[in-house]
Amino acid sequence: MVPLTFHHSWNKIEARDRLTAMREFAVNGAKHLVLGDMLLKMIGGDYKLAAVLRDETRQAGLDFLDAHAPFRGFGDLFIPDERDWRQMIARQKLNLLLVHELGVDTCTFHVGSEFYYEYTLDRHREALYRSLDELLPLAEKLNVVICLENGLTPLNSAEALVAYMRKYDSPYLGICFDTGHANRKELGGRFPDGAVPESWKKFGLTIRWEKNIAETLRPYIVNCHVHDNYGERDDHNLPGCGNIDWKRILNVLRNAPRLRNIQSEVLTARRNIPIRTVVESVLRLFGELPGKE
Amino acid sequence: MVPLTFHYSWSKLAERERLTVMNEFAVNGAKHLVLGDNLLKMMGQDYKLAAVLREQTAQAGVDFVDAHAPFRDFGDLFIPDERDHREMIARQKLNLLLVSEMGVDTCTFHVGSKYYPDHSLDEHREALFRSLDELLPLAEELAITICLENLVRPLSTADDLISYMKKYASPHLGVCLDVGHANLKEQGVLHPDSDVIPAWEIAGLQVCWEKNIPERLQPYIVNCHVHDNGGVGDDHDLPGTGTIDWKRTVPILLNAPRIKSIQSEVLCARRNTPIRTVAENIHALFGYTPEL
């Protein structure tokens, strides 16, 4: 089966409770955890945490598989301001090293969502290219695939991501297919007020709703974020607690040639969902998907 | 007047109390704070903290002058292991950028104190040189001086530091004179229980005791750590409560040709020393009369 890996809000629990939560995942059948953005931030500040996490995951019988780089302030790849861009690149290079250090070989990055409105959209795109020019050689050296995630802004549509894939045509660049974001981009037209990011309006653009996002991105999908919603908000619900057509998604993922892992991005803390419920739900949905496990 | 700057253990403080403590320094005449290793680590974790700190220091009427890079694990410049060295360099490059972002132009680094037993002392030294080769161009670009601190361990003696200064001969490389460490290295020979002895034994060496450390380092001193001890352990006490000869030390610091700032590294938290006591002590020691 394709390895299934689980996100958890580790920054919201005390260090002393971390191993217990890891064991909770393990006894319910999880084998892999996501090295998420908040964990990477924590490792960024606590120089010894990587060794602690290695020890704790080993004790729990788990490992880290798949990572998510920090995003927004000093995390977005498209930062056009020179000073901020430079700090972001230094931070993301460190994050790639930490990802590699923890044995992970896929890492999701956001193109960006915190726009600098004093700069044009083209300047944001150029900054994204500069970022990829800087980060891809390091990713290659570390054997980590940088996965760009689809979203709702003008620079992370399916169309935009496919253009980036074609421009770089690199085995170290792929796509993180976010099922929840895709659903919003496909169904958001029904909720025009709530679902349109302000960036479209601020750049004087009209949002282009998309169709068949999963199918369009399929050749480039390396990892994915699995969660559900009703098309209006980014709920990060359990699969089935929304209106995503999971049979269709399963079929796309089954035929994604570069797929390495499937990540649950259900936010347990947001709706007080037990770990057991998440693990069982995701295993039920994807447990039979053929892959390397 | 050489700026006087104050270290504080910000990491041990709840965030909501930070501005209060900054105000405490300000009402006691302090104008400058140290961007210490723990603050830099906190900024490594919290990507938005730099902006918060800028706002809080502005509110308190203080600023950051002088910085101290994280040390030991993934902080020591002499890390000989290739993977660990690479992570350390990435972390320290980020730290230099953050130091610059906060408007600070001096940053102290430790040559190192955590030895890798599978590597020789020469390999540690070579790794230090590789680190400086990597970091100095960035420091120059950011107009920051990297200051190597005298420690009580091999590779960080006064002789070692002078040899590094001569090798690089760069305006972006200088010395951070730690007067407490210098005292331990000068007086430890009198104390069989000196903390210096095990620090050398770990490296399989006998201690190389030293004399006249401040005098020999004076041409290269850019910043300094001011604190006191009894010559045995690294107490970080108030000046005057240990055995350091301050009449000898103060003029050396004030007359050092490259000196940019004088840093109190008295550890308030360790002995519950009030901020007012530290500020008054340091101001008096260096002849500064603050306007209160």
pLDDT level of residue A194 (50, 70, 90 thresholds):
low
Average pLDDT in the A41-65 region? 97
Which residue is it, tokens 């909770």?
A24
Q: Are B36 and B66 in contact (CB under 8 A)?
A: no
Interface contact flag, A47 B75, Cβ < 8 Å: yes
Strand partners of residue B32: B5, B63
Rounded Cα distance between B126 and B123, Å, is: 5
Per-residue pLDDT band at B131 (split at 50, 70, 90): very high
**What pLDDT sits at residue B176?**
98
Q: B90–A90: do the CB atoms touch at under 8 Å?
A: yes
Mean pLDDT, all residues of chain A: 95
Q: Which residues of B touch A86 (CB under 8 A)?
A: 97
Distance from CA of A230 to the nearest CA of B (A): 32
pLDDT of amino acid A101: 95
Q: What single-letter DSSP state applies at residue A154?
A: T
Q: Spell out the domain ranges in chain B.
A: 4-269+281-285
- Closest partner residue to B44 (CB to CB) among A44, A72, A75 is A44
Instruction: Decide if domain B4-269+281-285 falls under CATH 3.40.50.2300.
Output: no
Take residue B282 and report the two structure tokens written for it. 């340091």
The C-alpha atoms of residue B150 and residue B218 are separated, in whole angstroms, by 12
Average pLDDT of the segment spanning B148-177: 98
For chain B, what percent of residues have pLDDT higher than 70? 100
What pLDDT was estimated at residue A209?
Answer: 92
Task: Categorize the per-residue pLDDT at B291 as very low, low, confident or very high, splitting at 50, 70 and 90.
Answer: confident
Tell me whether B130 touches chain A (CB under 8 Å).
no
Instruction: Work out the pLDDT band at B292, boundaries 50, 70, 90.
Output: confident
Task: Supply the pLDDT for residue B268.
Answer: 87
Residues of chain B positioned with their CB less than 8 A from the CB of A97: 86-87, 90
Cα–Cα distance between A187 and B175 in angstroms, integer? 62
Q: Give the phi and the psi of residue B169 in degrees, each rounded to 5.
A: 40, 50
Q: Report pLDDT digits (tens) over A68-115.
A: 999 999 999 999 999 999 999 999 999 999 999 999 999 999 999 999
CB atoms A97 and B90 under 8 Å: yes
Q: What domains appear along chain A, each with residue ranges and CATH number?
A: 4-286 (3.20.20.150)
For A36: left if phi > 0, alpha if psi spans -120 to 50, otherwise beta; the answer is beta
pLDDT > 90? residue B265: yes
Per-residue pLDDT at A192 exceeds 80: no
Q: What is the mean pLDDT of chain B?
A: 96
- Residue in chain A closest to B43 (alpha carbons) equals A45
HEC letters along B119-143: CCHHHHHHHHHHHHHHHHHHHHHHC
> Is B257's pLDDT higher than 80?
yes
Which of the four pLDDT bands, split at 50, 70 and 90, describes residue B12?
confident
Give the pLDDT of residue B271.
82
B101 contact A CB<8A: yes
Average pLDDT over every residue of B157-179: 98
A19 pLDDT higher than 70: yes
Distances (CA, A) of A229 to A214, A279, B197: 16, 18, 64
**CA distance readout (Å), B136 to A9, B42, B68:** 38, 24, 16
Q: For an interface test with B, give the residue of A47, A92, A99 to mutate (most B CBs within 10 A).
A: A47
Q: Quote the minimal CA–CA distance from B72 to chain A in Å.
A: 9
Which of B46, B74, B97 comes nearest A90 by C-beta?
B97
Q: Is the dihedral of CA A87, A92, A93, A97 positive or negative?
A: positive
Average pLDDT (B192-203) is 93
Residues A240-288 pLDDT 10s: 999 999 999 999 999 999 999 999 999 988 888 999 999 999 999 998 8
Give residue A269's pLDDT: 82
The whole-angstrom distance between A184's CA and the closest CA on chain B is: 28
Q: What average pLDDT score do residues B192-202 get?
A: 93
Determine the distance in angstroms separating the CA of B227 from the nearest CA of chain A, rounded to an integer.
Answer: 26
Q: pLDDT tens digits for B30-71? A: 999 999 999 999 999 999 999 999 999 999 999 999 999 999
Mean pLDDT of the A23-35 span: 97
Residue A29 half-sphere exposure toward CB, CA atoms < 13 A = 13
Residue type, A181: H
Of residues B145 and A208, more confidence is placed in B145
